[in-house]
Amino acid sequence: MKIKVVIFDADKTLWDHYNISEFEDPIKVINKNEIEDAKGRKLKVFPDVRDTLEELKKKGIILGLATWNYPEKTQKILQILDLYKYFDVIVSRDFPYKFIMINEIFNELRNKGIKIKPEETMFVDDRRSHFGNVWLYLGNIKCVEMWKDIKCHSEILHMLD
């Protein structure tokens, strides 16, 4: 079955920082892929993230984000990095239960009249530990462990069919 939705984790999946909820204002832009907060914490977007998101959008893939971060921090960081525009649905919660976040994404899409089956969904996360509950509660979602199953984001493009 063809993949219609790709849902990403954020920390350690889209960028190298492990917890953007720690970031404090003011946030300084070093370049389009790198920022630094008031305490000197840095974040760098991984190399082919932008090109991959752009390509997925061109292919008509719905993009979601499911991240364990404070919603206002997620929104702020995505906007500063100019990544916000790529995502159709963003669910950012201060708890680690990705299966609940993915279900929220499905509900939001359903409310927009878009019905997605689990097997039409790919979930990309750097932590395999989330996959068990995703499969248990949501069904046959294609879960991809970043840095183990794939080494760069562009490999996602070859996994769509």
pLDDT at 161: 75
pLDDT at 70: 97
**Nearest C-alpha neighbor of 122 from the set 63, 68, 67:** 63
**CATH at residue 20:** 3.40.50.1000
pLDDT tens-place string over residues 3-45: 999 999 999 999 999 999 999 999 999 999 999 999 999 999 9
User: CB–CB of 49/153 below 8 Å?
Assistant: yes
DSSP 58: H
Total tally of structural domains belonging to the chain? 1
pLDDT at 1: 83
The list of the chain residues with pLDDT below 70 reads none
- In sequence order, the β-bridge partners of residue 93 are 68
Does the reported pTM lie above 0.95?
yes
pLDDT at 68: 97
